[in-house]
Amino acid sequence: MTKNWNFENKENYYPNIVLFHLGDDETLQAYDLDAEIKEYIKYSRIGSNNTDEALMQKGINELFLTWLKKDKKVLNSKKFFKLNSDKLKDYLKEVDISIIISKSNDIAQINYLTALNQFIFKPLDILSFNFVLRTSNHSKKSEKVLNSSIKLLKKQTRSQMIIIEERDILASFQNLKISNLKEFISKNFIKLVDSLISPFLRVVENPYLFKKLKYQIFTNEINSNLILSSLAISRKTENRLEDSLRKVLINPIFKSSFEYSKLLLVNIKGIFLEDKHKEKIENRLKEILGHEKEIIVTYFDDRYAMDRYTQISIFAFFVEKTGHTNKTTQLQNNLLNSKEEYQTIVNNLTEEILLR
């Protein structure tokens, strides 16, 4: 299929997005996205228990499909997609982006994730982002299945894998005291999903984002489908922007792997910035992350938020290596050295922006 990468068209485009949830656990939390997002995306779930009534109470319409059992332990994904082929093709015919969420400790979910990506890849021109929560209790067998899935989908450049470590979500929050640990992990996992979806639906603030990102992914020659991500929130009275930027870069989820990435998507939420402030921030990001990298910065103003916060998320695309590096201390020093410069940026903002 010939792609048209003409960016001369000035019309901004809202991509059609579908969120697939694999499995049955924590269904409602899986859809706990921004209120503005919920009305613009479609929802689908592949599992064994239909939760239509509970979802309807939350105003969510879900296409539910029952996965098929081959025997008591193995789920027959091949037969499932053969039986549901026409229904899924019709459901996906207008879709531009699919977001698929699953857990590593459920082999059935990973098998269906692989099969769903293969189904999407063949007849449909869809960009697929796969969020996998790597749980602390997954088995060696499930880890092997996940690694096989990553390797298999590596050949399909439009299928990007975002692996989120459960332990890293916990490590990124200091002095954590919470009664429901499972709920906390799930909610923060969904925050990362939310932070990837949101910029696509803010075309006024982020024009051409879908076209730019699709072009980068479809034409990149690096044989890697791994994306590493990080998210940080600051609720400080002052300097929230600086504080959240520092946190997001040293977040253990990210593992400083921007070094091994060619493309970075940075999303800033919670404040409104004028163009001159955006330019200064983007220049600072290039100084920290590298001038040779492609950095796409997106913004949106959460003007109806009840609390004052700044949230920054980073998605590092085409990561060829992973693991902690010795750059964390250097990063902290770079940020401290730039404090005066960043203070100038923050001080130039209006009082309304600072206190939002």
Q: Give me the residue spans of the domains in the chain.
A: 17-201, 224-355
The label of the residue with tokens 């450049």 reads 157
User: Which CATH number fits the domain 17-201, given the four candidates 3.40.50.1440, 3.30.930.10, 3.40.50.1240, 3.30.70.270?
Assistant: 3.40.50.1440
pLDDT of residue 2: 31
Domain 224-355 fold is 60s Ribosomal Protein L30; Chain: A; (3.30.1330)
Q: Express each pLDDT in 160-216 by its tens digit.
A: 999 888 877 776 565 556 566 777 788 888 888 999 998 998 887 888 889 888 888
pLDDT of residue 153: 85
d(Cα 19, Cα 85) in Å, to the nearest integer? 18
pLDDT of residue 113: 92
pLDDT of residue 137: 76
How many other CB atoms are found less than 10 A from the CB of residue 43?
Answer: 19
Q: Do the domains 17-201 and 224-355 sit in the same CATH topology, yes or no?
A: no
Q: Would you mind telling me the total number of residues written for the chain in this entry?
A: 356
CB contact at 8 A, 203 and 13: yes
CB contact at 8 A, 97 and 196: no
d(Cα 327, Cα 250) in Å, to the nearest integer? 9
Give, for 30, the enclosing helix (H) or strand (E).
Answer: helix 27-30
d(Cα 92, Cα 103) in Å, to the nearest integer? 23
d(Cα 197, Cα 41) in Å, to the nearest integer? 9
- Strand order, beta sheet including 17-22: 62-66, 41-47, 17-22, 97-103, 127-134, 159-165, 226-234, 310-317, 263-269, 294-300
| Longest CA span, the chain | 64
Positions of the chain with pLDDT under 70:
1-12, 26-29, 35, 51-58, 69-75, 123, 157, 171-180, 252-258, 271-274, 276-277, 304-305, 321-356
